[in-house]
Amino acid sequence: MIKFGTDGWRAIMADEFVVEKVRVVATAIAQYLKKEGIAEQGIVVGYDTRFLSETFAREVARVFLGAGIPAEMAKRYVPTPVIAYSVKDRKRAGAIMITASHNPPEYNGIKFIPRYAGPATTDITKQIEKELRTVIANSKEISLGDASHINYFDPAPRYLKHLSQFIDWEMIRHSGIKVIIDPLYGTAMDYLDKIFKENACSFEVIHNWRDPYFGGSNPEPSKENLSELKQKLFSTNAQLGLATDGDADRFGIIDEDGEYISPNYGIALLLYHLVENKGWRGPIGRTVATTHLLDRLARKYGLLVLETPVGFKYIGALMRERDLLIGGEESGGVSVKTHIPEKDGILACAMISELRAKAGKTLGELLKDIMEDVGFVYNERINLHCEEDIKKQKLEFLYNSPPQRLADIEVENVVTLDGIKFLLSDGSWLLIRPSGTEPIVRIYAESERLEIKDKLISVGKEFFVK
């Protein structure tokens, strides 16, 4: 079954994700663009470093050529934010990116990026799914264009030129900080490291070759997957470690002392940097699962915070509507004003290096300074396995009979924007969200006291294990 999730369609290769189904999805997108009346603007196609990704991408381009729609393809594997930028830069009707992002190596996927250069909204994916049902029902042979007619282009120069306007590379160079870059065998190779090299900044890069197995783990810049980056940081006496996921739309940070800086804290540091060091202003967008440290900083700066459901497509929509200063999600997605409404791990890493150079202290020290000013917060997320029937039953009970107190603290408000979120009188909160695709419940908690955060996580678990 082909179904678009939070960020496109993903499935296991040689099982669900096969050439025939890729052609079917591409045909549905082509029909959608024709009905929108913008197909003549053409599309761009990109792909990641996974097994057979370029083959799938070429078949997508052939489908569009066969449908009479101009198609051009990146000359080599490319980050998702770069192909998204190319849509806007080249004024195309959209892009198709062959990627499964941070998923395990056996997965691949298709992401459709509309002409506004951000994630497809739910109304767009529903229209594509409607076209998909039509394509499957008609079961006609799909017309394929000649692969020799595909136009190839290099999106890197234009993107890197655009990226440079956000960063003071001279300051980074003169600061003398050394950065270790880890693209995790993914598409950020020759992007983040290239721009450091072009600006004569001190850096080294690891895992910068194509490995479809991603070194035997998921290409996700999580604490567990960045141990080699940490080791390299220590062995070279570097000040900062920066990582991106498989398609470079998420970021990861290792501080000088080897500590992992979570995306929640990373986004807060970026907000601080944009306001304090760059003098930018504007609303802040965050998902319901993202840290309220952003809210504390917003109160200090007199800025508005807007909350969305989980998924960067909601943040991207806000960026188009409200000219956000910054939009972020706790899973490591972030973008800023005047950039594309798509999460960009390359931009995030470059800005973090700029902040580190400007601060002249470790990110941990800076984060401590920030929280001494606006208040400390501790947060955590866990995934809890739960069978679908039990998950549904427990969630219905919570919706209908929400508790009045949690961890001996009064519940002041209940938010049901995405899952069920309990806001407590001391500023702590607990969020419970079911996965729409797996027998999993995600439990998030945050508090200014570590012991309360731990208690809230335990309470969340108890809801589903009783």
What are the pLDDT digits (tens) for 287-306?
A: 999 999 999 999 999 999 99
- CATH for the stretch 178-374: 3.40.120.10
Q: Are 378 and 453 in contact (CB under 8 A)?
A: yes
Which pLDDT score is estimated for 466? 60
Q: Which CATH superfamily is domain 378-465 in?
A: Alpha-D-phosphohexomutase, C-terminal domain (3.30.310.50)
- DSSP-based three-state secondary structure for 187: coil
Which pLDDT score is estimated for 387? 85
Q: Which of 252, 353, 350, 337 is nearest to 303 (CA)?
A: 337
Which pLDDT score is estimated for 437? 67
Q: How far is residue 361's CA from residue 57's CA, in Å, rounded to a whole number?
A: 44
Which pLDDT score is estimated for 275? 98
Q: Which residues of the chain have pLDDT under 50?
A: none
List, by residue range, all CATH 3.40.120.10 domains of the chain. Answer: 9-155, 178-374
Q: Are 335 and 412 in contact (CB under 8 A)?
A: no
Which amino acid would we find at residue 463? Answer: F
Which pLDDT score is estimated for 210? 97
Which pLDDT score is estimated for 4? 76
Which pLDDT score is estimated for 465? 77
Q: Are 142 and 60 in contact (CB under 8 A)?
A: no
What are the pLDDT digits (tens) for 366-422?
999 999 999 999 999 999 988 888 888 989 999 999 999 999 999 999 999 999 999
- CATH for the stretch 9-155: 3.40.120.10
Sign of the CA dihedral with 105 first, then 107, 108, and 109 last: negative
Token couple for 86: 């190319």
Which pLDDT score is estimated for 349? 98
Q: How far is residue 185's CA from residue 210's CA, in Å, rounded to a whole number?
A: 5
